[in-house]
Structure 1
């Protein structure tokens, strides 16, 4: 019979990861097309998660860290029909990665990130906890999947409904770019405001796309998308919209990190790639 501690350990190592990679990178591709230097022509038509960052593709940093940390036992990547072949070729190098296409071919057809998450949950019959990761996001070196696993175990002891999200401090002039979390003294979120003015909240807790959703929260994906079925795609696209909605329905706790890389355009890609080429101290233990 499993002890409580061993039970939690087993629960955590059997989690799944879903990497959201069905975007079309329109801003980045526009920047690459209009760049006159010729230095970035090799990025033409490359999905953002497959961009070379340091010694490997951006998404490979996640697969290596998730595997080394024993945080999950399977990684599912949701992409689109346009990039499916490229992701399949990339995934052939890993034994624990599966690719799923949302069957769209243009940005106007996109399902939205929340619908892509729901698609993965249903297609792969996911019944346990899920780590949800934005495919165009990486974190600074203080981020640790092992610490996230430990924190999620702690909040699960409080309630099996509990989910976990990340936050980092942003500047006053950045609140309008992000979802901003408001939390209580126990670091439980009671609100997330989408791109508020600095005057609309005292919080400066930006929330990146990395969530640990409890298995008990997964049925709410259906409820959320049913409520939003006639809403504009923008209300279903950003995964933070689901987090904002779920905060009033399930306990959502916060784990603090120092910052992230969000590859949205060419300057942000250059900054990220330079960091991993020149400043990353230990690639083998990165994010583990």
Structure 2
């Protein structure tokens, strides 16, 4: 199995917060891409890479970034022999290709024909997260049907449904639909879906079909990986693995919360495995 970490974003909100912070406590974060932020004892992305290799289910981690941050990621990757970094060729947020196009780009570049774990480079999860359990569940689903896919979800608050893609599932935990940022009255579900997908190799070719269909659409319809997931649900089986919550490092407040958690959460091995 291969893993792809999506790290081509520009972190504009976080950098604005750092620049405007009156205390100056976070000046050392200026110009640092979110996946390379220090979180507890390691950079955010290093938590993922170590967990993925420790799982022994992933033989290669592919990281897609942009030209602006390419050198920083290449230097970071020197410590990991089975990490490969690719730039999407852009140098500004306005030029961005979108996460789905970046996923397609790196899979084609490295000629991946395997099941793939897709991870948002600004995301970590809480203490009940177990990569080993998730991979085991995916393996069981694949044994039943090699077109099955697996995603994570967690319960969000009523007033948060309009911030996320919300999954509606059946009794077997198969996703029946994904509603994009619905009002609480538009769905009974509160299952938010972070960017952590285990995609079967049979689903990967559908990236081409999705991007071809959305070729003339605004970047917003092609950017978020949840847009592809919503489209995929109608074409391939997608199941849910429930977790308690996540850290989405979008701004300075969420970064501080995530960093504090991993500084205090000492039993990292239980989180990773």
Task: State the TM-score, normalizing by the size of structure 1.
Answer: 0.94
The separation in 2 between residues aligned to 1:134 and 1:169, in whole angstroms, is 19
Secondary structure at the aligned position of 2:269 is classed as coil
Where in structure 2 are the equivalents of 1:106-145 lying within 5 Å? 106-145=92-131
Match in the other structure for 1:282: 267
Residue 203 of structure 1 is aligned with which of 189, 214, 218? 189
Counterpart residue number, 1:26 = 12
1:35-80 C-alpha deviation (Å, 9 max, x unpaired): 1101000000000000000011000000011111112100000000
* Equivalence map 1:2-21=2 (5 Å): 15-21=1-7
Structure 1 unaligned blocks of 5 or more:
1-14
Question: Deviations for 1:202-259, whole angstroms, at most 9, x for unmatched residues?
Answer: 0000000000000000110000000000000000100000000000100000001111
Report what 1:148 is aligned to.
134
Cα shift at 1:19: 0.2
2:243 to 238, 249, 257: 257
* 2:224 paired residue among 228, 235, 238: 238
Deviation at 1:153, TM superposition (A): 1.2
> SS of the counterpart of 1:17?
strand
Helix, strand or coil: the match of 2:272?
coil
Deviation at 1:283, TM superposition (A): 2.1
Alignment-derived partner of residue 6 in structure 1: none
Distance 1:283 1:201 in 2: 36
**TM-score, scaled relative to structure 2:** 0.99
How far apart, CA to CA, are the structure 1 residues paired with 2:115 and 2:161?
A: 30
Question: SS of the counterpart of 1:217?
Answer: coil
Q: Secondary structure at the match of 1:208?
A: coil
- Is the partner of 1:66 in helix, strand or coil? helix
**Alpha-carbon RMSD:** 0.7
Rounded Cα–Cα distance in structure 2 between residues aligned with 1:37 and 1:194: 37
Q: Is the 8 A contact 1:142 1:287 kept in 2?
A: no
